[in-house]
Amino acid sequence: MMQDITICDEIFGLDPTGAIFWRNQDMLLIADVHFGKVAHFRKYGAAVPSKASSTNYKKLEEAIARHNPSTICFLGDLFHSTLNNEWKLFETWTQKTKADIILISGNHDIISPHKFEDLGIQVVNELQIKKFLLTHHPTERDGYFNFSGHIHPGIKMQGSGRQSIKLSCFYKTKQQLILPAFGNFTGKHILHPSENDTVYAIVEGEVICLS
């Protein structure tokens, strides 16, 4: 189940895949997919199951099917490393995708922008739309609300006894919203919200406000 929130009079749908659907722009925002990470680690001997890569594509197709966006904007770290055998999978996916694709470069996006542009993907350092600033790294700029990734935000929930669970989350402050990492092989950075912050955790296919 999604969670709709309003920011600067615009409606944004927080999707349980970790994406955000910006209704008025018909745009899907996605951060930190890290395609190619599985192949990168397997290349160096890590015992990572190869199906971990296909899970990311299944999530992506789920979000696209639900919202049918005209534009998909990746907020950085789309491809984890240098070219590897997962690039062919990515090429195939882009060829089948009808939406326009924008990549805001992240620190892991070290592949030449020309490779993305050859696939019809627009590559930029940031994107300004109305009162909103879209970046990879969390950025504060006067007059703008910032959507970003990079942090891989998570929240730790403590149960009875010593039980605890770490959940991916959307992390919102007064002028900023940090998206969870979309990739399933990325890890989480546990954040400690203040009383003025809002956390939307992803729990078993639902987005739940914990603040």
**Annotated domain spans of the chain:** 3-209
Q: What is the pLDDT of residue 99?
A: 97
Question: Residues near 23 by Cβ (< 8 Å), separated by ≥ 6?
Answer: 10, 11, 12, 13
Residue with tokens 């999707």: 15
User: What percent of the chain has pLDDT above 90?
Assistant: 67
Confidence of residue 35 (pLDDT cuts 50, 70, 90): confident
pLDDT, tens only, 52-68: 567 889 999 999 999 99
CATH topology of domain 3-209: Purple Acid Phosphatase; chain A, domain 2 (3.60.21)
Name the residue type at position 25.
Q
Confidence of residue 51 (pLDDT cuts 50, 70, 90): low
Looking at the DSSP bridge assignments, the partners of residue 153 are 189
Q: What is the overall mean pLDDT for the chain?
A: 89
Q: What is the pLDDT of residue 161?
A: 64
Task: Tell me the pTM.
Answer: 0.90
CB 76 within 8 A of CB 109: yes
In this structure, are strands 100-104 and 122-124 parallel, antiparallel, or unpaired?
A: parallel
Confidence of residue 44 (pLDDT cuts 50, 70, 90): very low
